[in-house]
Structure 1
Amino acid sequence: MKLVTVAALAGLLATGAAHAAGTGCGGFAWSLDAERALLAAPEAGDTTAPPTFRRLAMTPLAQAALPMPPERAPREPGSALAGATRVSVPEAGLYRVTLPAEGWIDVIQGGAYRRPEAFTGAKDCPGLRKSVRVRLDAGEAVIQVTGTTPVPGLAFTREP
């Protein structure tokens, strides 16, 4: 009887620890320390090559001059905001785009959407909301963000 109670208690503790790890800033699938630093000190970046902070001028979606329509249509198009920025990709590889606030990320290269290979997010981490990993070729790419929350900028980094 005691063995069952100890096993049940151990299971509850393990479940609680796993749940706690998935909340707050500990809930991301990969470390975002470099991105957090870029987003916290944007004046240190704002170049086109990674690692960099890129500013976004968010305007109403209907007035935004996006190179392509958002791949995922906003739930509330009338209240949607959008912004885009160009980045330089020095060599082919896996890159990250990280947002400090809620938003949909489209990465466009060669006139086509580049689908993320992975994404991670947390709703209760101050200064970090979402990050995607996307494989890019050397050259130029466009990152566009849509959503109902203003996003002042994004971090663009190379996967370590």
Structure 2
Amino acid sequence: MQPEKLGGSVSKGGLFRVDIAEAGTYRVALGSGPWIDVIEKGAALPSIAHGHGPECSGIRKMVDYEMQAGPHILQISGNGDAALTLMVVRLR
């Protein structure tokens, strides 16, 4: 599916598959500030919270989602670099 935000002419993007074992609230933490769409069963999930990481942590952006168990695609767009630090953690 097309990203919600495409980014500029020099932006980078990518797709990451994440298998969620148990339904719950998950946080996607990124080392930079690209746009992220979480795709579940062919549709983009709405975010439920967002923020920034702690000072000096290397985490620039955090976005929370309610996810069901199963495969998900993290769709990244508008990143300024070819590399991206990414982490997904279960909150509850």
Which range, TM-score by smaller chain?
0.7 to 0.9
Query: What's the TM-score, normalizing by structure 2?
Result: 0.87
1:105 Cα deviation after fit = 1.1
CA distance in 1, matches of 2:68, 2:28: 15
| CA contact 2:35–2:79 (8 Å) conserved in 1 | no
Structure 1: which 5+ residue stretches go unaligned? 1-67
Name structure 2 gaps, 5 residues minimum. Answer: none
Q: Could you say which residue in structure 1 is the equivalent of 2:48?
A: 117
Correspondence 1:155 to 2:87: yes
Q: Distance in 1 between matches of 2:2 and 2:60?
A: 23
CA contact (8 A) 2:5 2:78 kept: no
Tell me the distance in 2 between the aligned counterparts of 1:138 and 1:148.
Answer: 28
Q: 1:97 aligns to what SS in structure 2?
A: strand
- SS of residue in 1 equivalent to 2:15: strand
> What RMSD in Å do the two structures reach over aligned CA positions?
1.7
User: 1:104-144: CA deviations, max 9, x gaps?
Assistant: 1110010000011000026x745110001100111000001
Aligned length: 90
Structure with higher RCO (Cα < 8 A, 6+ apart)? 2
1:71 counterpart = 2:4 = yes
Q: Which has the larger radius of gyration?
A: 1
Q: How high is the sequence identity, in percent, across the aligned residues?
A: 36
The alignment partner of 1:105 has SS state of strand
Aligned mates of 2:57, 2:89 — CA distance in 1: 19
Equivalent residues in 2 for 1:4-15 (5 A)? none
Q: Deviations for 1:23-55, whole angstroms, at most 9, x for unmatched residues?
A: xxxxxxxxxxxxxxxxxxxxxxxxxxxxxxxxx
**CA distance in 2: counterparts of 1:86 and 1:143, whole angstroms:** 6
Structure 1 stretches of 4+ with a deviation exceeding 3 A read none
In proportion to residue count, which structure has more helix?
1
Q: Which of the two has greater strand per residue?
A: 2
